Amino acid sequence: MNHPNPWGQSPPIFGPGSHSRFDGLIANGVIVEGKLHAILNEAEAADIFPEALLIEMGVPKHAILRCLSDRYHLPFVEFSESFLLTETLASRLDLERLKQRLWFPLRVVDRQADVVVGFPEDAALDAEIKTALQVEKLNKCIALPPDITRIIEHNQDANPHYPASAGRTALARVRNALAKMRTLLAFHRTSLAKGRTGLAMMRTGLSFSAIALVLLQVFGIGFALIPDALLLVVGLALTVEGLRWYLPIRPVARQMPSYNPTESTFGSSFLEHGIVDGKMLYARHDPIEGADTLRIGWNRLSPIMKRRFLAIDRTDHAEERTALASYRSAMAKARTGLAFMRTGIALIGLGIALVRQFPTSGWVISYVTFILLGATMTLEGLHWYVPGRRAGNEGLKLIRKKHQRRSIWDFMFSAWRDPISAGELPTALFIKESHSPGIWGTTGLALERTLIAERRNVKARLRTILARSRTGMAFIRTGVKIFSVGMGLLVYFGLSNITWMTCYACLMVMGLIFIIDGFRWHLPAERIKESFPYCSWDMEIQFPDYAQPTLSWKKVVFSRYDL
């Protein structure tokens, strides 16, 4: 794998006499002069580190290190996970700048520092290091540029060639932000449920009020006035109370956030976030060169590199859950819009019935008001319904796409994957008494957390399917309401007026469309639901104890008979 050169134009290594850095390879018989200069010229033309290209061409790494060590009379070091910055130094240094300038501090004591450098003869770099570390003396050792980059990336908690935003801490911040959004979406869904309850109260109140008005029209002022008045008062009280529940929800629903998922790439890219103009934005970093090759060699990765990949996987899982929560929230908003439509249709039907039954009444203005108010509510409901319908289709598309993709478990375990090549076999395992207990060590816990995250995603997909099923049922209820209003008016008033008959027929057709669409949502969701592994009557919950194997975790079972 070629390592790009971060110095930009005219790096010091390609300056005058830079090729002489590797003359020791010729003197030691490691490589002939012509081949060496050809490789160095190729590296300069491609703007990559010549050390990386030399190793790629078969030159032993230790031969290059000894060559540079002899030239500069400095000891050499290689990458090691033991090279770690102290918290104090980490807070003072810009690690991205260190990657550009290719140096790393090993120790700072008594105004002197031990540092690893890639270019020992760079006086400007020496001055920069002394200023950054606030020391007077430098004890330098040399390392290959790719190794220095890996040391710095290790301290950034990022895998080789990944930027600092792919570190586990940065990814944890992304997951926290996504969790915050999911909490906010849950708040919106609860608010919308309260709004739908308010609309149900409104419909009940309007029904009571309509019955009272009809009785008043039929029997006039007489012995039935007191129960009519009580029914009217109760209806108006329920209507007002329903409005008090519903109206505050409208501005909340308009401010509901949404999340459009990016395309996950199994660890070769990762999710980033940032605030732009006061708004949190998420974007996927471009795929990292060589990351696919690194991931394929999973069995040869160090434990910490595995944990970094698993952190990227958990962030991708968190993104999927957030997107599904966004789709569920949009469908909840659609169901609230449909409830609003049902209330509006009830008002329209009531107004039309009263206008046709009592055309000369002094209350006709109020009846027309019912029709206009119902039409306004129906249009408002349609405005909420359309985005929810689109979200339901997008959510189903995302679920099907994720269901068809291979998961990390398909990748890791040979029973579900292609035969393992010799290059993928793990390195020799050396066990010492001081080592952590196998799979239940830190990397094993990261695997367990990732497995739990994937299970949560499966359950999130199920919840989204159930939300789609509920939304389909809401379509059906709305369609039945619209069809019933049209059919009832048609049966009661007959076919005497072609204009009114056309209006009733349109209501019936509109109702049938909603009913058919509802079954198209509900029935497939029911079939998909049965294929999920979490649809039993009994529910079993494990209480995780990450210090113990999963089999020893305590469990509690909730049965339908306990409810």
The pair of structure tokens assigned to 306 is 């595995």
Q: Which residues pair with 558 in a beta bridge?
A: 539
* Exposed e or buried b per residue across 451-488, where buried means at least 16 C-beta atoms within 10 angstroms of its C-beta: eebbeebbebbbebbbbbbbbbbbbbbbbbbbbbbbee
* β-bridge mates for residue 542, sequence order: 555
Task: Put residue 134 in one of left, alpha, beta given phi > 0 → left and psi -120 to 50 → alpha.
Answer: left
The model's pLDDT over 511-543, given as tens digits with 9 standing for 90+, comes to 999 999 999 998 888 887 777 665 555 555 555
At 186 the pLDDT is: 93
The span from the CA of 135 to the CA of 106, in Å, is 13
Residue 152: CB atoms within 10 Å: 24
Q: How many helices (H) and strands (E) does the chain have?
A: 17, 7
pLDDT number for residue 5? 47
422: tokens are 């010799």
Residues 476 and 521: beta-carbon distance below 8 Å: no
All structural domains of the chain, each given as residue ranges with its CATH number in brackets, are: 1-73 (no CATH), 79-155 (3.30.300.160), 168-415+446-562 (no CATH)
User: Within 10 A of 424 (CB to CB), how many other CB atoms are there?
Assistant: 15
- Do the Cβ atoms of 467 and 328 come closer than 8 Å? yes
Q: Which of 73, 219, 41, 227 is nearest to 141 (CA)?
A: 73
Q: Residues for the chain: how many in total?
A: 563
Q: Which pLDDT belongs to residue 218?
A: 73
- The residue among 453, 105, 128 whose CA lies nearest residue 264 is 453
Inter-CA distances, 65 with 23, 47, 53, 76, Å: 12, 21, 14, 6
Q: How far apart are CA 367 and CA 374, in angstroms?
A: 11
Contact 522, 476 (CB under 8 A): yes
CB proximity list for 4: less than 8 A, separation 6 or greater: 47, 48, 49
Using CA atoms, how far residue 417 sits from 57, 407, 411, 451, 481, in Å, is 32, 11, 6, 18, 52
CB neighbours (10 Å) of residue 414? 9
Rounded to the nearest 5°, which phi and psi values hold at 85? Answer: -75, 145
φ/ψ of residue 348, rounded to 5: -60, -50
Instruction: Report residue 294 as tokens.
Output: 């690194």
10-residue mean pLDDT profile of the chain (563 residues): values are 44 53 89 89 86 90 93 93 84 88 92 93 92 93 92 89 88 94 93 89 84 77 77 90 87 84 88 85 91 81 87 94 94 89 86 82 80 87 86 89 72 53 55 52 79 87 90 92 91 85 91 92 82 57 61 60 45
pLDDT of residue 409: 62
Residue 562 one-letter amino acid: D
**9: how many CB neighbours lie within 10 A of its CB?**
6
Predicted pLDDT at 549: 64
